[in-house]
Structure 1
Amino acid sequence: MSDSIALNKANWDERAVLHAASKGYDTASFVADPRHLSGVVRFDLPRLGNIAGARGVHLQCHIGTDTLSLSRLGAHMTGLDFSPGAIAQARLLAQRCGAQVEFVEADVYDAAQVLSPGSFDLVYTGIGALCWLPSIDRWARTVSELLKPGGRLFIREGHPILWAVNEKHRDALVIEYPYFERKEPTVWDSNTTYVETEGSLTATVTHEWNHGLGEIVTALLTHGLDITALVEHDSVPWEALPGQMSSSPDGEWRLDKDAWRLPLSYTLQAMKRRD
């Protein structure tokens, strides 16, 4: 195991327990209301369309709230994550909800080895996932390996230009971090996470990599997928730039000043070629 994976796994094992108990993930609402969906999935309902009966896999599923939401829309879902702590919480949530969702512990790059390659109608990746992967090309190859011909990739992610902005500046948008993928990771050291939690982290060091939008599109095209939709959004589901954003009634956060200055997230869809 590389140092980066070991560091990130330790961090996400701790986050999983804190997130499962947090108001931000609101697992109680999933248990109380069988129609409840995560904010991330709810945001993209018009673009998701009818997925009833589809065999889907959610890569980097974390504690499974998006995976469970897709299951509630009628898809037969499997969630995959490299964190045993996250998988444990995901399985517990599914059990509490009486949901038939399978969760598998594995690195995303190993997904085609531990799951059935070429058998999925839908590969889903939620927000805040790709920045933990050192190679976007390897990710795209994995997606292609998992999908049936004609199968669909659906991803909503933080925009790579957002990841390049230094959030510590509260009166300006300052690009200080990489936009393009680099071999060396950006190293972070923080005992907090992106939602309010009761406790703090002890595994504080993490490694991340950005991937430009063109790099993502090119990787998917290279591995046999054609882009069918790409929408850039002026919002994200958390306060990504503290002091410069406000929450909207839809649960999304937008810039207070001139939201048209910066794309904050995007939704991308692609289909695996049939030939």
Structure 2
Amino acid sequence: MTEYKDNYIAINKANWDERAPEHSRSTGYDYQRLVREPSYVSEVVQFDIPLMGDISGLEIVHLQCHIATDTLSLVRRGAKRVTGLDFSPAAIKEAKDLAVKAVGGDKLNFVEASIYDALDVLPPASFGMVFTGIGALCWIPSIKRWAETVAALLKPGGRLFIRECHPALWAIDETVTDSLITGIPYFERDEPHVYDESGTYVETDHVFENTKTVEWNHGIGEIVQSLIDAGMSITGLVEHKSIPWNALRGQMEKIEPFGEFALKEGRDNLPLSYTLQAKKNA
């Protein structure tokens, strides 16, 4: 496992470089609709709106922005300017192409860097909000370092907004299709979990060559405490019964609105995602 931990960035980058162009072409993302419809906001951000509230005039940094569908959506929700950061050059290319093609893209800026190198390419204490979308934290080994990066990027009084897959769901063995069985550690461990999967989470005919990914789970308590230790105050924590993709094949169904998926049975038995908000102490 040490070989995977030591090389996790290169392994994951190869995987995401191959995924990015397929995701921008897929109907599983709102990429093409964002180009066609000047006022459209991605379904992920539509879900976030009630808890996120007004972001008018904010300078926002979107960490692990991928192909920028949510990044652009934040601009359309009123952000003054949004900077997207991602470690995948292929994802940054798709993001920049979206900015050129879509109304509102002139308020976007993109930088290529890993999450832990954010302060090497972005000015500290410069943002009114750090936004992190769903499916991001599993790619980083240390939630403590992530929280320290978030706090360092924010102005005093600035806020964090994150909606993420629930670590209780990450702990479920997705190869079991008829019951909920834990097979992955809930808590952060030094050694990662290595997956080898032939596809991606959207429909595509592409045959992938880079199929391995290296991932970590982080418990809710670990995430919350890391933010507190980094000088943040928790202002909200809401658990949800849905998630934007079919995470457990055979056990989920699509629901409306926002194109979310929920358990077919026992929806009160397992949280699938959560929204966490925090504020940087003055």
Range class of TM-score, shorter chain: over 0.9
Kept in 1: contact 2:151–2:232 (CA 8 A): yes
2:146 aligned residue (139, 162, 184): 139
The alpha carbon displacement at 1:2 in A equals: 3.9
Q: Distance in 2 between matches of 1:118 and 1:169?
A: 45
The alpha carbon displacement at 1:199 in A equals: 0.6
Q: Does 1:5 align with 2:5?
A: no
Matches within 5 A, 1:30-49: 30-49=34-53
Q: Distance in 1 between matches of 2:115 and 2:6?
A: 14
Q: Which AA in structure 2 matches 1:134?
A: P
Q: Distance in 2 between matches of 1:242 and 1:190?
A: 14
Q: Does 1:272 align with 2:280?
A: yes
Q: Secondary structure at the match of 1:235?
A: coil
Structure 2 residue aligned with 1:56: 60
Q: Distance in 1 between matches of 2:130 and 2:236?
A: 15
Matches within 5 A, 1:68-147: 68-75=72-79, 76-98=81-103, 99-100=105-106, 101-147=108-154
Structure 2 residue aligned with 1:216: 223
Kept in 2: contact 1:22–1:198 (CA 8 A): no
Q: Distance in 1 between matches of 2:204 and 2:153?
A: 35
- Runs (5+) with no aligned partner, structure 2: none
Structure 1 residue aligned with 2:206: 199
Q: Secondary structure at the match of 1:261?
A: coil
1:167 aligned residue (174, 182, 191): 174
- Runs (5+) with no aligned partner, structure 1: none
Kept in 2: contact 1:121–1:151 (CA 8 A): yes
Identity %: 58
Q: Cα deviations across residues 180-199 of structure 1 (Å, max 9, x unaligned)?
A: 00111100111201111131
Q: Does 1:259 align with 2:267?
A: yes
Q: Distance in 1 between matches of 2:84 and 2:36?
A: 22
Equivalent residues, number: 274
Q: Distance in 1 between matches of 2:25 and 2:37?
A: 17
User: How big is the alpha-carbon RMSD for the aligned residues of Structure 1 and Structure 2?
Assistant: 1.0
Q: Does 1:15 align with 2:19?
A: yes
The alpha carbon displacement at 1:249 in A equals: 1.7
TM-score normalised by length of structure 2: 0.96
Q: Secondary structure at the match of 1:124?
A: strand
